[in-house]
C-alpha cells in the first residue's frame, strides 16, 4: 500500500515542480531525493514520458553543454490535475490528522 501511495505522490511532486518552473530529469531526481524518494533514472524517465503522453507535461529540448536536455513544464491539463490532487490531499490530511488528534 505504501509503495502505491508513494508512486502517486511522486507524480504530484513532479506536477508541482513543473508548474512552478521548467524542470529536467537530473534536477527532479535530486529534488525528489531531498523529499526522501529513492528513484532511479530508470523509474523517473518513463514516468516523465508517460505524463507527457497523458498531456500533463510538455517537453522542450535544448542543447546544454553539447547534450540535449529535455525540460518539462506542466500543461494546463497538468495544472488542473495538480489542483484536483491538492484538494484530495487536503481532504485526506485533514481527515487523517483529525482522527489522530481525537
CATH, residue 77: 1.10.10.10
How many structural domains does the chain have? 1
Q: Which domain holds residue 50?
A: 2-101
Listed residue (83, 87, 91, 56) closest to 72, CA to CA: 56
Buried b (16+ CB within 10 A) or exposed e, 42-80: eebeebbeebbeeebbbeeeeeeeeeeebbbbbbeebee
Once rounded to an integer, what is the mean pLDDT over residues 48-77? 96
Q: What is the mean pLDDT of the chain?
A: 91
- What pLDDT, on the 0 to 100 scale, is given for residue 38? 87
Once rounded to an integer, what is the mean pLDDT over residues 26-52? 93
pTM here is 0.84
- What pLDDT, on the 0 to 100 scale, is given for residue 3? 74
Amino acid at each position: 500500500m505504501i509503495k502505491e501511495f508513494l508512486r502517486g505522490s511522486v507524480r504530484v511532486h513532479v506536477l508541482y515542480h513543473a508548474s512552478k518552473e521548467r524542470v529536467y530529469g537530473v534536477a527532479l531526481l535530486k529534488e525528489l531525493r531531498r523529499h526522501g524518494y529513492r528513484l532511479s533514472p530508470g523509474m523517473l524517465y518513463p514516468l516523465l514520458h508517460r505524463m507527457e503522453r497523458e498531456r500533463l507535461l510538455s517537453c522542450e529540448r535544448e542543447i546544454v553543454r553539447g547534450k540535449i536536455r529535455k525540460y518539462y513544464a506542466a500543461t494546463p491539463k497538468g495544472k488542473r490535475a495538480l489542483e484536483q490532487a491538492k484538494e484530495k490531499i487536503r481532504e485526506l490530511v485533514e481527515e487523517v490528522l483529525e482522527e489522530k488528534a481525537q
